[in-house]
Structure 1
Amino acid sequence: MSHDAPGGAGEVLDADEPAWSEEEDDRTAEALRWLREKRKAHRRQKGRDVAVLIYSVVLLGGAYGGGYTVDFLRRIRLGADYSAVGAHVQGALPALFTLLTAALALLAARDALWRGPVVVPAPSVGWLLTHPVRRAVVLRPWFWLSAGVSAATALTAACAAAVVLRVLGLASLGGAFLALLPAAVCLPLLAVAAGMAVEHRAGLARFVRRFSPLAVVVLMLLAGQTAAAAYGHRSAVLEQVELWSGPWGWAAQPVVSATGGHAPGRPAAVVLLVLLTAAGLVRGHRDAALVPTAQLRRRAVTAQTVSSVMYSAELRAAKLALMDAAADGPGAGRTRRVRLPRPRSKYLVVVWRDLLSLLRTPARPAKALMWLACATAVAALGVQFSGAARVIGLVAALLLGYVAVGALAEPARLETDDVRRAAWSPFRFRTLMLQHAVVPAVLGALLALLAAVPFAVAGEPWALVLMPACAVPFAATAVFSASRGPARLELMFSGVTTPMGDLGPLRFFAWYAAGPLVSVGVLGVVLYGVLRRAPDAGSVAVAAVVAAALTAGLLFFAARAADRLVRPGS
């Protein structure tokens, strides 16, 4: 609980912190001056680190992207015609712009659940805010720093988008940039203000957690509309609704108008966007000083953990830190107390526990359904093409399918996060991990069978066999990836120099993503061979046999990897 500080400062303090009077004991200027003096060497070193990072990014971008850039500019100089692509982009632009900006708004709201615009370093939270200083002077600069960085990034993206619109022949370079300017300035500032509101208000954080799945469904529908509009299936009513549905649509109207679309109310939309941005910044400026110290302390620890493990490529550790922050953060929901009858056989205990885990965290099955719907939509779109387009669609659908089945295999990952948790099990660790593949394999196959029904109704009954057959090796892949162990950073340095540089990062990526690369690669080759000509019973049976053999191989290597987790020398 918080209260206003006496003396009219209107600053919020934690209940366990003693109140102080700004008039009697204000040491803000003194503390900040002393801190700046002590941090001079640290700031110089940090500036050098940032300079080296920028230099490395520019060098890598120039080395790997320079050839493509030169070829692209040469094509422009020679008068390469991109009008066909421009027509697709022009048709999809209202839905595409709305999709991108709405997705960024959702990301900003979700980011505020664990970090937010105001993230004070842990030393400052632990030392500076415990002194008699004005919280607004300490916290508000972080809000405006986040706003400035977001706006600068958006302006850079706007410059790139203006070049793309110019190359596609949809607008002049100056006209495209002026049309993108309201979105580039207002939308990032609005996102920061929205993040500040979520960070400060527990009720709003609870709202974001509860309705994020619905927002993802809306984004999926927008993605479908974008794909349909790109191929000429546009809906003028839907596009006008989107253009007036909120700031994402208001910001799109100048761009739509500059590229030849219909947006007669763009001046009013820009005025509404500017007014809403100003109101959001004013509110965010006020909220920045009202975040409790305990919450700032939790967020600082989470941000420090995530940044440190990202440098060591431990993505799982970063996810665990975010899960812990979500469980302890504002608006965190309660765990559902669902019960199932206990099995009589010990061989069903792992299945029973995995089912309980999924029922008590319904977000995981919902996430699996969402990604499965995306995979089904991409597959339906991909089979309509031929050649390279069909291969790309097939690979994308398989990757999305793996992500869907992998969402059901979270208990296996939790088991390997700390192998000491397996002390309850009457089985060897390798047997325990193999049993964790049962639930994602069965549920994934059932969901894939449900997703295959529309294909069967449309005259493609082979999907009733092939789609569930792909779900089973994906479950084995998820268990293999969970048993992989900590990141082997020594693979990043191979010592072999090539014209493209050291091949170590490629080796590390191949090790890190070995399971998905193998399963998606094998299934992609098999399915492409089946779909290249009319599928028959023989080819479908061969594909099912290959999927079964792939599952067996992945489970074999998953068992070996599980043994190495508990006995590193094996």
Structure 2
Amino acid sequence: MRPGSSADVRTDVHRDESTVATLTFLRAVRGRHRAEKRRNVAFLVYSLALVGGVWGTPVLLAAARLGRSRALEDRPAPLLEALPLWAPALLALVTLVMARSATWRGPVLLDGATVAWLLPQPLARGPLLTPRLVSSAIVAALLGLLGGGVLGFLLSTGTAGAWGPATAAGAWAGLGTALLGTASGALVVRYERALARRGRRIFAAAWCAVAVLGALPVVSVVHGLPPWAHTVALWISPWGWAVQPLVEATVGGAPGGGFLAALLWACCVAGCVRLAVRAVPGISQESLRLRATVADRVSASLFSLDLRQARSATRVGAGRRARPALRIPAPRTPWLVMPWRDLSGLLRAPGRLGWAAVWCASCGAALVFAAGHGGTAGTVSAVAGTWFLYLAAAQLVEPARLESDDVRRAALLPYGARALALWHAAVPTLLLALGTGLVCAVCAAGGRWTPALLAAPTAVPACVGAALVGAYRGQLPVHLLTGTDTPMGNTAPLQIGLWYLRGMLALLVLVAPVVADAARGGEYGAGQSVWLLAVAAGGLGWARRTAHRSQG
């Protein structure tokens, strides 16, 4: 039978009539449940608004007073000058994260009853799936309006202009970014099969583009960029169009005016939303069923505060390649087997190597900035540099984290848990030492040398030890969930936060003051090196005990 015949037309009409009748019946049957759900959502919104008003409003007002009084005069000036560079990168990153999350969740998410009962039925997909997309877009739009408005208000506190136009411009950029990210997520779900073949390259290229945009403000702070670079950054991508009204309201002098850029941004967002709405009915049952299952697993893991399990559940639809991009020959020396194994594991996820390089570069930029600015800004920048180095180490200890989640991976290895923890520190320490050494060489060649940079290579073992403590933390102890009742409230949230972040917090307490002192004093001596190496020894010993305890 030819497509488009009268029989096909009658089938489509019958399917549409059945869909309308089914959805009408479900709305009538689930009326009480829908009303209760709306009341729960209204109560949640009220609670969030109350908490935000009580805790957020005083913070915003205090930031406004400090900005107006120029108490932070040495900090917001570089931030505002580099606004045309870092704001488009931030919006592009948010959009990419929303699109990437659609590989396991997506904006079109169905509940278990719909997946089990409605999807197998011969019903039209458009009336069933489009409302889900609309509800996700509304939630994302509200969050984008709020986040963008807050960002615009905070940026306006460092200028002499009014806060209203900056807040509106930030809300406009946040609204468009949220809708664009939602539409991109819907397209990712719709064309999942095509992305299964080319998605890894597409997302890798997108991450590289965002990394280039993010590197521009770092280069601007460290080395400086000509004014035309700001103009190019504001016109080279749609997110630059979104930022131009905010730049005009805060810094001023947006090239070409903000109206044309706002019009282009609106057309871009509207076009992507239209494509998403037209693509939603073509989403396959397999994609919808997989995402509903993964979402239930993630929700259950989050309710039990098992963040590792939640992250493992999100990798179900990732489609990672089994073979690394670069194969390393197997070593013939037994003591090189574990480093070869860890390095091969990192090569299977080259994104972690890329992020480690980004955090190493950010650490160097933060230390250079701290050496050139005294006071609070320099101290905060030095602490941020230490934190960046910890994040780089956390990316490289992924083999240890996987081994902690699945003890079968190390069952046949001739090492105990304590020895394996030390073996897993070898490759991250070597890679970070090379990375920080390269950063020091680049800064020295570019005329940005400061003795504080020497603290980065010396602090690498301490950062790796702290990252291994987090990798081997194991399951959350049950007694931390109960806590202790005090006049200030229950201590369970504080205990859980300290348990999850204990390695990073210990590192910041013990290492960051030394790095900040080297940045302020402009010199780095042997005593500071001895202290950092002692902290590293303590951190590795702590990781050994944590690994042994987590392995039972």
- TM bracket, shorter-chain basis: 0.7 to 0.9
Letter in 2 for 1:474: C
- 1:453 Cα shift? 1.8
The verdict on how the C-alpha distance between 1:34 and 1:54 changes in structure 2, with shifts beyond 3 A counting, is: same
1:209 aligns with 2:203: yes
The verdict on how the C-alpha distance between 1:175 and 1:24 changes in structure 2, with shifts beyond 3 A counting, is: closer
Residue from 452, 466, 474 that aligns with 1:485: 474
Structure-2 residue corresponding to 1:98: 88
Structure-2 residue corresponding to 1:28: 19
The verdict on how the C-alpha distance between 1:390 and 1:498 changes in structure 2, with shifts beyond 3 A counting, is: farther
Which range moves more in the overlay, 183-192 or 62-71? 62-71
Structure-2 residue corresponding to 1:252: 243
Deviations 1:33-84 (A, max 9, x none): 34334544543554454345444434544554465456567789xx846895
Conserved 8 A contact 1:364-1:408: yes
Residue from 479, 497, 502 that aligns with 1:514: 502
1:419 aligns with 2:413: no
Conserved 8 A contact 1:312-1:489: no
3-state secondary structure, aligned to 1:324: coil
1:155 aligns with 2:149: no
- 1:335 Cα shift? 2.9
The verdict on how the C-alpha distance between 1:408 and 1:137 changes in structure 2, with shifts beyond 3 A counting, is: same
Conserved 8 A contact 2:417-2:548: yes
Q: How does 1:82-231 map to 2 (within 5 A)?
A: 91-161=81-151, 163-164=153-154, 167-176=157-166, 179-180=169-170, 182-201=172-191, 202-203=194-195, 205-224=199-218, 227=221
The verdict on how the C-alpha distance between 1:147 and 1:452 changes in structure 2, with shifts beyond 3 A counting, is: same
The verdict on how the C-alpha distance between 1:519 and 1:88 changes in structure 2, with shifts beyond 3 A counting, is: closer
- 1:30 Cα shift? 3.2
Residue from 272, 276, 281 that aligns with 1:289: 281
Deviations 1:147-188 (A, max 9, x none): 222222233335435544665555445544554565354443
- 1:131 Cα shift? 0.7
Structure-2 residue corresponding to 1:316: 308
| Cα distance in structure 1, aligned partners of 2:70 and 2:548 | 58
Which range moves more in the overlay, 368-377 or 52-61? 52-61
Conserved 8 A contact 1:162-1:177: yes
Conserved 8 A contact 2:455-2:518: no
Conserved 8 A contact 1:398-1:524: yes
| Cα distance in structure 2, aligned partners of 1:200 and 1:275 | 22
| Cα distance in structure 1, aligned partners of 2:205 and 2:299 | 28
- 1:100 Cα shift? 2.7
Which range moves more in the overlay, 448-457 or 54-63? 54-63
Conserved 8 A contact 1:256-1:263: no
| Cα distance in structure 2, aligned partners of 1:528 and 1:68 | 26
Conserved 8 A contact 2:104-2:315: no
Conserved 8 A contact 1:395-1:520: yes
- 1:227 Cα shift? 4.4
| Cα distance in structure 2, aligned partners of 1:283 and 1:44 | 32
Structure-2 residue corresponding to 1:390: 378
Structure-2 residue corresponding to 1:14: none
The verdict on how the C-alpha distance between 1:90 and 1:564 changes in structure 2, with shifts beyond 3 A counting, is: closer
The verdict on how the C-alpha distance between 1:315 and 1:440 changes in structure 2, with shifts beyond 3 A counting, is: same
Structure 2's unaligned 5+ residue stretches are: none
3-state secondary structure, aligned to 2:12: coil
| Cα distance in structure 2, aligned partners of 1:417 and 1:288 | 36
1:551 aligns with 2:542: no
Structure-2 residue corresponding to 1:15: none
Identity of aligned residues (%): 33
- 1:473 Cα shift? 1.7
Conserved 8 A contact 2:368-2:448: no
| Cα distance in structure 2, aligned partners of 1:173 and 1:423 | 60
1:241 aligns with 2:217: no
Please, what is the CA RMSD of the aligned residues? 3.3
- 1:7 Cα shift? 7.3
3-state secondary structure, aligned to 2:11: coil
| Cα distance in structure 1, aligned partners of 2:148 and 2:479 | 39
Letter in 2 for 1:386: G
Letter in 2 for 1:323: R
Structure-2 residue corresponding to 1:402: 390
Deviations 1:129-159 (A, max 9, x none): 1111101111111122222222222333354
Deviations 1:297-352 (A, max 9, x none): 1122222222332233322222222223212xxxx656337544444454433222
Residue from 244, 248, 255 that aligns with 1:263: 255
Give me the TM-score of the superposition, normalised by structure 2.
Answer: 0.87
Structure 1's unaligned 5+ residue stretches are: 11-19
| Cα distance in structure 2, aligned partners of 1:305 and 1:510 | 25
The verdict on how the C-alpha distance between 1:521 and 1:178 changes in structure 2, with shifts beyond 3 A counting, is: closer
The verdict on how the C-alpha distance between 1:33 and 1:81 changes in structure 2, with shifts beyond 3 A counting, is: same
1:439 aligns with 2:427: yes
| Cα distance in structure 2, aligned partners of 1:109 and 1:90 | 28
Conserved 8 A contact 1:86-1:170: no
3-state secondary structure, aligned to 1:263: coil
The verdict on how the C-alpha distance between 1:8 and 1:253 changes in structure 2, with shifts beyond 3 A counting, is: farther
Conserved 8 A contact 1:114-1:302: yes
3-state secondary structure, aligned to 1:383: helix
Give me the TM-score of the superposition, normalised by structure 1.
Answer: 0.84
| Cα distance in structure 2, aligned partners of 1:50 and 1:191 | 23
| Cα distance in structure 2, aligned partners of 1:455 and 1:366 | 19
The verdict on how the C-alpha distance between 1:32 and 1:467 changes in structure 2, with shifts beyond 3 A counting, is: same
3-state secondary structure, aligned to 1:209: helix
The verdict on how the C-alpha distance between 1:258 and 1:347 changes in structure 2, with shifts beyond 3 A counting, is: closer
3-state secondary structure, aligned to 2:236: coil
| Cα distance in structure 1, aligned partners of 2:141 and 2:273 | 13
| Cα distance in structure 2, aligned partners of 1:234 and 1:398 | 26
| Cα distance in structure 2, aligned partners of 1:31 and 1:321 | 33
The verdict on how the C-alpha distance between 1:403 and 1:450 changes in structure 2, with shifts beyond 3 A counting, is: same
Letter in 2 for 1:138: L
Conserved 8 A contact 1:108-1:192: yes
The verdict on how the C-alpha distance between 1:558 and 1:136 changes in structure 2, with shifts beyond 3 A counting, is: same
Q: How does 1:499-538 map to 2 (within 5 A)?
A: 499=488, 501-535=489-523
Which range moves more in the overlay, 139-148 or 482-491? 482-491
Letter in 2 for 1:348: L
- 1:109 Cα shift? 2.4
Conserved 8 A contact 1:116-1:195: yes
Letter in 1 for 2:212: V
- 1:411 Cα shift? 0.7
| Cα distance in structure 1, aligned partners of 2:402 and 2:96 | 27
Letter in 2 for 1:196: A
1:475 aligns with 2:484: no
- 1:488 Cα shift? 3.0
| Cα distance in structure 1, aligned partners of 2:40 and 2:207 | 39
| Cα distance in structure 2, aligned partners of 1:303 and 1:452 | 44
Structure-2 residue corresponding to 1:17: none
Conserved 8 A contact 1:336-1:361: yes
